[in-house]
Amino acid sequence: MNLSKYLFSLFLLCILSFLNASEVDKKLHVNDVSNTNQVTKKKIAYIVSDIRIPFWDIMARGIKNGTDSLGYDFEIYSSHNVAKKELELTVKAIRDKVSGIIVSPTNSSACVTILKLAKSAGVPVVISDIGTDGGEYVSYISSNNKDGAYKIGQMLAKRMIELGWQDGTVGIVAIPQKRLNGQARTAGFMKAMDEAGIKGADIRQQVTWTEKETYDHSMEMIKNHPNLRAIWLQSSNRYMGALKAIRDAGKKDEILLISFDAEPEFLDLIPKGILIGAAMQQPYLMGKEAVHAMHNHLNGKKVEKNLQLPILAISTKNIKEKLPVIKMNVLGIETK
């Protein structure tokens, strides 16, 4: 008798659970229906190599500014520079049924796989910086890395000549040269150096993206090249490592430091001449433009396949003038 009751109770429980699940499903579905019935808010995913890096963070804010203004939901998927995670996040974004993906991939090769996965799911992709080795995308928003590097190179050359250091050499702490932007930056910078007749000393690539790495690269170049007169950082985020190396080497007033990209501190460091300049990308602007491109695509409008945004060559001479633009587009400091 007790057993029968027990079994009956169990049966009831099962039935209830089933019904509940159905309800849940129904609810989801309802929700869905309700969502469908309502004007469904599209979602844009931003798959980024590492949101911890200020550049990407600023870009993300630019994207958010764009999605907010255009009425999209927005979610950041940061890979922390791990290829596996990047792919997992891509799959997740797809499963999350995003309307579009804006991607700043870990590298242009990984971007190809992202594009492939997105394509198989029918999700459009806009690439914001880094680039891709192949695949289909809606638009590629990039900085004119070459031109920017060229301008900053001219700036450096001018300064070195002013200082009578034209016979000195320049060391480069580079981003992975496998990246297209890395290659473009190096090419532009070296063009300026060649035109000025200033020789390069060495080029070291960032791998771990740590300050120590940048410090070590800088220190080695200083030691190995006694006539080193400048260090150019292709990425700004570990600038402190370079500064410390110059200081520790006792070459504070003997080695110029110049950067590609910028950190908020540069607003202070450049005027002080601690950095003589920086080629500033406009990540915030890039983010916004990426959203605009996605929006146009989702609405069936024509989209420019490759959009190169100019890089601001900021030196001590024009920093004041360009400050508003720097704050907004470079640093993503939104003014209310």
Partner 1 sequence: MAHRKYSLYLTLGLIIIATVTVIMSINSAYSYINTKNKIINDMKESSRTTIISLENNVENLIASYAVNEYDNLVLNEIKRRDIFAIVVHDYNMGKITGKKAYISGKIRDSQSNIIDYDVTNAEQNEQLKNCFYSDTFNIVSASQKKLGTISIYISDETMNKELGKIIEDTLKNTVAISLLLILSLFLTIRFYILKPISDIIDVISDSDKDGIPISIIPDNKTKEISTLSNTMNNMIKSIKASRLILKENENKLFQALELQTRIFDDSGYVIIRTDKDGLIKQINKEAERLLGYSSEELIDIYTPELIHLESEGMRRAEDFSKELNQEVKPGFDVFIAKSNLGLTNEHEWTYITKEGKHIPVLLSVTALKDKDNEIYGYLGIAKDVTQRKLMESQAKLASMGEMIGNIAHQWRQPLSVISTIASGVKVRSEFNQLDISTIAEDMNHITKQTQYLSNTIDDFRNFIKETNKKEKISILHIAEKALSIAHSSIVSSNINVVSNLRDDIIIDGFQNQLIQSIINIINNAKDAMSEYEKDEDKLIFIETEHTNTGLTLRIKDSGGGIKEDILNKIFEPYFTTKHKNVGTGIGLSMVYQIVTEYHNATIEVSNETYQYNGKQYTGACFQINFRP
Closest distance to partner 1 from the beta carbon of 233 (Å): 27
Q: 169: how many CB neighbours lie within 10 A of its CB?
A: 19
Checking DSSP bridges between strand 169-174 and strand 125-128, what pairing results, if any? unpaired
CB-nearer residue toward partner 1: 29 or 116: 116
Q: Give me the half-sphere count of Cα atoms (radius 13 Å) on the Cβ side of residue 27.
A: 6
Binds partner 1 by CB under 8 A, chosen from 49, 78, 113, 186? 113
Using rule CB under 8 A, residue 166 touches partner 1:
no
Binds partner 1 by CB under 8 A, chosen from 47, 53, 58, 117? 117
Nearest to 275 by CA among 301, 252, 295, 296: 252
Q: What is the per-residue binding string for partner 1 in 282-301, x denoting contact by CB under 8 A?
A: --------------------
Query: What is the C-alpha to C-alpha distance for residues 246 and 171, in angstroms, rounded to an integer?
Result: 12
Q: Which helix (H) or strand (E) holds 112?
A: helix 108-121
Using rule CB under 8 A, residue 134 touches partner 1:
yes
**Tell me, what DSSP letter sits at residue 134?**
S
**Tell me, what DSSP letter sits at residue 328?**
I
Q: 308: how many CB neighbours lie within 10 A of its CB?
A: 17
Residue labelled with tokens 């869905």 = 32
3-state SS assignment for residue 195:
helix
Rg of the Cα atoms in the chain:
25
Closest distance to partner 1 from the beta carbon of 131 (Å): 12
Binds partner 1 by CB under 8 A, chosen from 96, 133, 211, 254? 133
Closest distance to partner 1 from the beta carbon of 86 (Å): 8
CB-nearer residue toward partner 1: 87 or 333: 87
CB-nearer residue toward partner 1: 121 or 219: 121
CB-nearer residue toward partner 1: 86 or 129: 86
CB-nearer residue toward partner 1: 95 or 272: 95
Query: What is the C-alpha to C-alpha distance for residues 46 and 49, in angstroms, rounded to an integer?
Result: 10
CB-nearer residue toward partner 1: 103 or 110: 110
Q: Which of residues 71-110 bind partner 1 (CB under 8 A)?
A: 83-84, 86-88, 91, 109-110
3-state SS assignment for residue 248:
helix
Nearest to 74 by CA among 54, 106, 51: 51
Closest distance to partner 1 from the beta carbon of 87 (Å): 5
CB-nearer residue toward partner 1: 88 or 268: 88
Provide the binding-site residues for partner 1, judged by CB under 8 A: 83-84, 86-88, 91, 109-113, 116-117, 133-134
